[in-house]
Structure 1
Amino acid sequence: MRVELLQILFFAGLAVFIGIRLYMVLGRQVGRSPEEHAREEAEKSVAREASVPARETAGIQDASAPAAAALSAVDVEEAAYDGLEAIADADPGFDAAEFVQGARAAYGMIAGAFARGDVDALEPLLAPRVMKAYREAIEARAAKGETLTTEIDRIKETRLQEASLNGPKAKIKVRFVAEIAHETRAADGSVVSGDIAALHPVAEIWSFERDVTSDNPNWRLSAVRPA
């Protein structure tokens, strides 16, 4: 009996530890405590429930309930809900929380690859039009003998701003707010612009798109503009 009790306590402690690690890795929003984050999500959930027509009282099952439950875990503008649910209907494998996690990872990978001039790393992450613009910028920088260093201190906000489904093409606009340092140096090592020791807030809207009928699950960056 004592052994069973110790096993229960051990696994309970392990579950708490794993939960804390997942929370730290998968995008804790900087600047807010866990309690504040939980309270904000609860308020969002109540607001969404209040705006949904009372179809359940008439005995009609709400087919969008699973999608709505998944969306409660991410930061979403009200205008994006219909589009996200349409994407989830067209692609049952779509998960908003996983998309946000992937978008945050892509933000760092794309910024880093552009700074390094790594076109091979950028190719699978960018839509053709964006890839062309990035390639031209990298080639122009190389022609001058300049090097770019970029450091992302933290991503403070990842908000799903807009979403749409036009035929098979799904598009999601994400508002990123990050603290970033840039520095460009000439071939002789002198600083051309920026300061790697100085962080600056950067707010941008990144548009990602994907063909939901494709076997390729990856989203590609199709546009970037200031927020």
Structure 2
Amino acid sequence: MIIQIVILAVIAAFLGMKLYSVLGKRHEGEEESIPKRFEEQRRDAAQARPALAPARQLPQEMPGVLPAVESGVRSIAAADRQFDITAFLEGAKGAYGMILEAFWTGDRETLRELCDEDVYAGFDAAIAAREEAGETLDNTLVRIEDAKIDAASLVDRTARIRVRFVSDIAAVTRDRDGNVVAGSLDDAIESVDVWTFKRDVRSEDPDWLLDETDQG
């Protein structure tokens, strides 16, 4: 009987040590894995979170911007993290050439894409009158001599920037028979245009629309 009790005690002690060993290892493993798991979750969350684009730092001196309107340009840059003054001016010059060419050739589709409704309506009416008269324009933008921002503002979500373009344009008007009725391709004339572009600074669409046209 005593022998049986001893054997049972040994077995119980062995099982107890085995159970402690298993539980002890699991507990230690959990203590090591919890911070590691949280660290991995934080790392994964950081990788999944979209990073905000840093606001572009405008230079102290901005070529192409009149000093009186620098504050307006800076307010637009503060509201629109993607705004870049150099890229805007290059884009404005490109739009200037494209819109002039579209107007001269009667390309209404391009004008509709690049202009707001009021400006497009004005271009469309002028094209219609020209078509009715049977006249065509044979114009060429020789060069853009200068492009400067002379006004900039931000009202609510809408940014407006006015650009003064000085360009040389060779202009010819022909009648329905192709005869020149005005202008000359041999002599380029200096043209001064003041165009205002607008954009919703919260829009995902990066394009600016021509909002107003005038002559300087």
Q: Under a length normalisation based on structure 1, what TM-score does the superposition of the two structures give?
A: 0.69
In the alignment, what sits opposite 1:23? none
Give the length in aligned residue pairs.
162
CA distance in 2, matches of 1:99, 1:74: 12
CA distance in 1, matches of 2:101, 2:61: 31
Name the SS for the 1:102 alignment partner.
Answer: helix
Deviations, residues 84-116 of structure 1 (Å, cap 9, x unaligned): 111001100000000000001011101101011
Sequence identity of aligned pairs in percent? 38
Is contact 2:56-2:77 (8 Å) kept?
no
CA distance in 2, matches of 1:186, 1:154: 26
Is contact 2:56-2:83 (8 Å) kept?
no
Q: Under a length normalisation based on structure 2, what TM-score does the superposition of the two structures give?
A: 0.72
In the alignment, what sits opposite 1:130? 119
CA distance in 2, matches of 1:121, 1:66: 33
In the alignment, what sits opposite 2:66? 77
In the alignment, what sits opposite 1:66? 57
In the alignment, what sits opposite 2:105? 116
CA distance in 2, matches of 1:74, 1:108: 21
CA distance in 2, matches of 1:73, 1:155: 19
Name the SS for the 1:198 alignment partner.
Answer: coil
In the alignment, what sits opposite 2:135? 146
Q: Which consecutive aligned stretches of 4+ in structure 1 deviate over 4 angstroms post-superposition?
A: none
Question: In the TM superposition, what is the alpha-carbon distance from 1:226 to its structure 2 partner?
Answer: 1.5
In structure 2, the CA distance between the partners of 1:111 and 1:216, relative to structure 1 (3 Å rule), is same
Name the SS for the 2:191 alignment partner.
Answer: strand
In the alignment, what sits opposite 1:55? none
In the alignment, what sits opposite 2:21? none
Name the SS for the 1:66 alignment partner.
Answer: coil
Is contact 1:175-1:204 (8 Å) kept?
yes
Query: For the aligned residues, what is the CA RMSD?
Result: 1.5
In the alignment, what sits opposite 1:168? 157
CA distance in 2, matches of 1:217, 1:66: 18
Structure of larger gyration radius? 2
CA distance in 1, matches of 2:202, 2:138: 38
In the alignment, what sits opposite 1:88? 77
Instruction: Flag structure 1 segments of 5+ consecutive residues without an equivalent.
Output: 1-63
CA distance in 2, matches of 1:224, 1:148: 19
CA distance in 2, matches of 1:222, 1:197: 32
Is contact 1:74-1:100 (8 Å) kept?
no
Question: In the TM superposition, what is the alpha-carbon distance from 1:196 to its structure 2 partner?
Answer: 1.8
CA distance in 2, matches of 1:119, 1:177: 24
Question: In the TM superposition, what is the alpha-carbon distance from 1:65 to its structure 2 partner?
Answer: 8.9
Aligned AA (2:87): E
Is contact 2:194-2:213 (8 Å) kept?
yes
CA distance in 2, matches of 1:102, 1:110: 12
Name the SS for the 2:171 alignment partner.
Answer: strand
Deviations, residues 146-169 of structure 1 (Å, cap 9, x unaligned): 111111111110111110000001
CA distance in 2, matches of 1:74, 1:94: 15
